[in-house]
Amino acid sequence: MSTDAAPPRRSRRSSGAVTLHDVARLAGVAPITASRALNSPEQVSEEVRRKVGDAVARTGYVPNLVAGGLASRRSRLVAAVVPTVAGPVFLRTVQALTETLAGHGYQLMLGQTGYRGSREDALLEAIIGRRPDGIVLTGILHSAAGRRQLLASRIPVVETWDLTPTPIDMLVGFSHEQVGEAVAHHLQQRGRQRLALITGDDERALRRRDGFVAAARRLGLADPRVVTVPAPTTVRSGREALADLFAADAAAADALFCSSDLLAIGVLTEARCRSIAVPEDVAVVGFGDLEFAADLEPALTTVRVNGEAIGQQAAQFIIDRAAGRPIAEPVIDIGHSIVVRDSG
């Protein structure tokens, strides 16, 4: 069989997942030969390794690491993938996932990709190989290889903390562009004219930036000054960004949107050190509504996203799918709100 043949139809197994037999058929070799090419490549020729490798790449096949006798059973395991476990913004989602799944007899396995996403494909391959009953992802932007593997596995997937009309499977999140737009409108309505932004360089924060800048232009305001810092963002990077912003121009901004509450607390700290009054001289708005936001001085105005609801709904999606219940609305936009406090 030529390796240029169309990818095989999915297996007749109840899971519908791409199997080793599918890979072997596409590669034109026996299943035992395909197995050797993957598990003991020194036992087969270079040509066979190439054919099997091409077939794996085309199908998105990931070997099942669960013992054959257990392959048909539910694992009672759900994997969640987040950019970092060090930052607090995803903690409510992880906690809600853990509690909701535990209430139905599932355990949560947590993986960390970093904000560059460079480790995501390797992590997904390891997760898929263990055949969890569901996978919960942060965000919607994944590599072509990652998407192909997830689709081929037929494992229920829930993307979170983002929004798209075309998810891999199911999604619960919100629009980052709309968050940026809403903050720009809020600040303009409070009489602010010179907007600025301190943002992490991760792709979700940058889309909040894009929404913020676009809304400022539509409102007839000057283009916001933008200072970009590496993700994950920190209190220190907030202090340094504010110092850079006002070192260049003492009247650089009368309102500042920070892409995280950690950046915002850094801004408040540096402003106090520089005798910049908040909100009199500059209004400050954060993102995340972390637990400390209301207890700062001044109390932080910030964007609240219901991370707990994201975790609960993501867990329920997987629980319903495992039980064979239909998913009436596979895409849920939970929205956001601006919590107005003293800082702006």
CB 80 within 8 A of CB 107: no
Alpha carbon distance 205, 241 (integer Å): 15
Equal fold, 74-174+307-334 vs 176-304: yes
Q: To the nearest 5 percent, what fractions of the chain are helix, strand and coil?
A: 40, 15, 40
255 or 251, which is more confident: 255
Helix/strand/coil for 88 = coil
Strand 170-173 vs strand 337-339: parallel, antiparallel, or unpaired? unpaired
pLDDT of the residue at 71: 45
% of the chain surpassing 90 pLDDT? 74
State residue 12's pLDDT score.
Answer: 38
Domain 74-174+307-334 in CATH 3.40.50.2300:
yes
First to last CA, the chain: 67
Is the pLDDT at 234 greater than 50, yes or no? Answer: yes
| pLDDT score, position 74 | 72
Q: What is the phi/psi pair of residue 11, to 5°?
A: -55, 155
Degrees to nearest 5, angle at CA 154 with 153 and 160:
100
- Report, as an integer, the average pLDDT of 28-47: 90
Q: In what order do the strands lie in the sheet with 337-339?
A: 225-229, 195-200, 255-258, 283-287, 301-304, 337-339
CATH of domain 176-304: 3.40.50.2300
Q: Which helix H or strand E contains 284, and what residues bound it?
A: strand 283-287
Structure-token match 């853990």, residue found: 98
- In this structure, are strands 107-112 and 77-82 parallel, antiparallel, or unpaired? parallel
Q: Which residues fall within 8 angstroms of residue 13, CB to CB, at 6 or more apart?
A: 19
Specify the amino acid at residue 165.
P
Residue 4's pLDDT is what? 46
Residue 296, both tokens:
């700062």
The pLDDT score that the predictor gives to residue 1 is 40
Query: Which of the given ranges, 5-9, 119-123, 174-178, 319-323, has the highest pLDDT on average?
Result: 174-178
Pairwise pLDDT comparison (288 vs 74), residue with the higher score: 288
What gap in Å lies between CA 98 and CA 106, rounded to an integer? 8
Cα distance between residue 223 and residue 202, in whole Å: 21
Q: What is the pTM (predicted TM-score) of this model?
A: 0.81
The residue extents of the domains of the chain are 1-61, 74-174+307-334, 176-304
Closest by Cα among 343, 315, 273, 317 to 106: 315
Burial of residue 8 (CB within 10 Å: 0-12, 13-18, 19+) is: middle
Give the burial string for 273-303 (b: 16+ CB within 10 Å, else e). eeebebbeebbbbbbbbbeebeebeeebbbb
CATH number of 1-61: 1.10.260.40
Mean pLDDT across the chain, nearest whole number? Answer: 90
